[in-house]
Structure 1
Amino acid sequence: MMRATSAVADVTVFLLLVGAATTVILSGASAEHPPAANPAADQASMLAASTAHVSYNLTVPDTDDRLPPEHADRHRRTAHGTVAQLLGEAAMSNVTVDGTRISTAGTGFESAVRSTARDRLGSPGRKTSVRVRWEPYPGAPISSEYRVGDRPPADANVRAATVTVPSGMENASAAARSAAVSRGYDGVATVVARCVVDGLFPPDRTRYALRGDYPADVLMQARYERTAELTGTTVAPEHQSTSTMNRRLTAALARQLRVDMRSRFDSPVAAARAVRASEIRVTVRTWSP
């Protein structure tokens, strides 16, 4: 099955597909004028501009219910986008809560993207690695990290550049700053939790998936139940509306974030200033072996 990159492209893997805009950053400078001698900036620019097709299989939980005769064929997918976009999608496929994955449905996709990126990266006489990171604020208990290549040695002379791509979640920075003034840590935590939950479970698309065909229904139900378990609450996808389940997840995640923010930031305003749920950072590092 071929699909184009769009916000509704692959509801069965729930990859938050990123937009077309990318910005390369190095020491605060944009990609329009990167240092000519920085090979990492060249590689980052390539990731932002180079496109790729990636074929993969979904990883679907075992189930005896509602399996169509052609169910194996329904696991196959093809994604298309810039390599930076695909790296961002791979990271969002790997969202964790306290280090435990929400879903393993996209492991085949993550492997395929890693192979594609390795084929595109590198230059004679240099080694390259990529770290893809999403977190609603630095150190948050819900986050994702995805890597391509080995970490550079501690004593290596490393050059670095970063590509930022949208995560698919709303920019909650302004709302978080407002909530910090009116409701303190609780307000900031609630804003961030709502942003994350609605990003991971967009109500309309989530409702469509739960009522849809295999494997979308199986994957969405498993994703809801796993997220609820990891955030310390319960949901009932077969009986509750998506709005009800999202409210429960938001309240549970907000409790976790509030405790974490109090331990991490000196004030609610400082916590709000750190919010960056809407972006994924793709950092390229190069060094001589």
Structure 2
Amino acid sequence: MTRAASTVVDATVFLLFVGAAVAVVLSGTAAESPRVGNPAAADAELLATSTATVEYSLSTRGLGPNHTAPDWVANGTARRQRSAHGTVAELLGDAAMRSVAIGGRPLSRSGAEFERALSATTRRRLRERKRLTAVRVRWRPYPGAPIGGGYRVGDRPPRDAGVRAASVTVSSGVDNVTARALVAARSSGYDGVATVVARAVVAGIFPPERTELALRGDYPADVLTAARYGRAGNATGTSLPIQRGNVTELNRRLTVALADTLEADMRTRFRSPTAAARATETHRVRVTVRTWSP
């Protein structure tokens, strides 16, 4: 399946959208008829199978109120125009991965227009007069991890509402490391598990080849990628030599720093390194649909 083609193929991409075909897993509802048993399951299936194209502009607001395109850029506004195509669930997963934060500190602030356009697209697909719908999208390399991404469409359902729910999962673009983490747990304990997870996460959100192209590419991909690295370094308390543009070295340093953060968290969260390894879910973004009557 071709997914989000413009964002994957475009050599100037800085948002680093990655992923593969949607894997449909209707949580707790697979045995029900999606049309009559659980309306949320029907909506989740719709998101997983229907495609959309989202037109948007890259936002440079996160670079500061005084940021302007360099003098040599002929048309800074035109250079920010993008188009993303894929299933609605895949695009929702992209939104969650672009919003990745470490310790609550987002790595990028450039996705506002994409998120607004995607929210409108999702609402149109799910519109139905007799019920209300909300969508929550979430990625964590393991439950409760200090790094993760999320995205929401619609309001939270009222506490007293009769809510039906169903989920699908899409690829996060990060490798599935559970098997490697289990091996590392036996040989190197929490440190080994944390290193395996950190290495996969950094490679997923900063894919070396595409990131190298972005750092050395056209405006605004270059400055936005550098800013993303800068925020990642600040969030993990490490100095990254961004000006040299050596992605291998940048990713190595970031991996070490993130592994330290994850190891400390795993020691407080899991009773053993093996338990931490078994909890990893780096490769999937969960898209949950909730429906209720007004």
- TM-score class, shorter: over 0.9
CA shift, 1:98, in A, is 1.2
Letter of the 2:104 counterpart = G
CA shift, 1:12, in A, is 3.1
- Cα separation, partners in 2 of 1:154 and 1:10, compared to 1, 3 Å: farther
- Cα separation, partners in 2 of 1:156 and 1:100, compared to 1, 3 Å: same
Letter of the 2:142 counterpart = Y
**Aligned counterpart, 1:209:** 214
**Aligned counterpart, 2:179:** 174
**Aligned counterpart, 1:19:** 20
Asked if 1:49 corresponds to 2:30, the answer is no
**Aligned counterpart, 2:154:** 149
The C-alpha deviation readout for 1:3-48, integer Å capped at 9, x for no partner, is: 73563447534242332233132317379x6574100000001001
The equivalent position to 1:234 in structure 2, one of 231, 239, 242, is 239
CA–CA separation in structure 1 for the residues paired with 2:97 and 2:269: 24
In the TM superposition, 1:126-275 aligns within 5 A as 126-275=131-280
| TM-score relative to the length of structure 1 | 0.93
- Cα separation, partners in 2 of 1:65 and 1:155, compared to 1, 3 Å: same
CA–CA separation in structure 1 for the residues paired with 2:167 and 2:22: 14
Letter of the 1:54 counterpart = V
- Cα separation, partners in 2 of 1:81 and 1:172, compared to 1, 3 Å: same
CA–CA separation in structure 1 for the residues paired with 2:106 and 2:91: 19
CA–CA separation in structure 1 for the residues paired with 2:230 and 2:154: 33
Across the aligned residues of Structure 1 and Structure 2, the Cα RMSD in angstroms comes to 1.9
CA–CA separation in structure 1 for the residues paired with 2:287 and 2:196: 25
The C-alpha deviation readout for 1:172-216, integer Å capped at 9, x for no partner, is: 111111111110000000001001101111111111111111111
CA shift, 1:285, in A, is 0.5
CA shift, 1:143, in A, is 0.4
| TM-score relative to the length of structure 2 | 0.92
Contact 1:231-1:249 within 8 A present in 2 as well: yes
CA–CA separation in structure 2 for the residues paired with 1:56 and 1:240: 27
CA–CA separation in structure 1 for the residues paired with 2:101 and 2:31: 30
The C-alpha deviation readout for 1:115-170, integer Å capped at 9, x for no partner, is: 11011113232110000000000000000110000111112111111010000111
Asked if 1:121 corresponds to 2:122, the answer is no
**Aligned counterpart, 1:29:** 30
Contact 2:29-2:166 within 8 A present in 1 as well: no
Q: How many residues are aligned here?
A: 286
The residue matched to 2:262 in structure 1 has which SS?
Answer: helix
CA shift, 1:254, in A, is 0.5
CA–CA separation in structure 1 for the residues paired with 2:282 and 2:98: 15
The residue matched to 1:130 in structure 2 has which SS?
Answer: strand
The residue matched to 2:76 in structure 1 has which SS?
Answer: coil
**Aligned counterpart, 1:39:** 39
Identity, % of aligned positions = 53
Letter of the 1:14 counterpart = L
Q: Which runs of 5+ in 2 are unaligned?
A: none
Q: Which runs of 5+ in 1 are unaligned?
A: none
The residue matched to 2:255 in structure 1 has which SS?
Answer: helix
Asked if 1:85 corresponds to 2:90, the answer is yes
Contact 1:44-1:284 within 8 A present in 2 as well: yes
Letter of the 2:84 counterpart = A
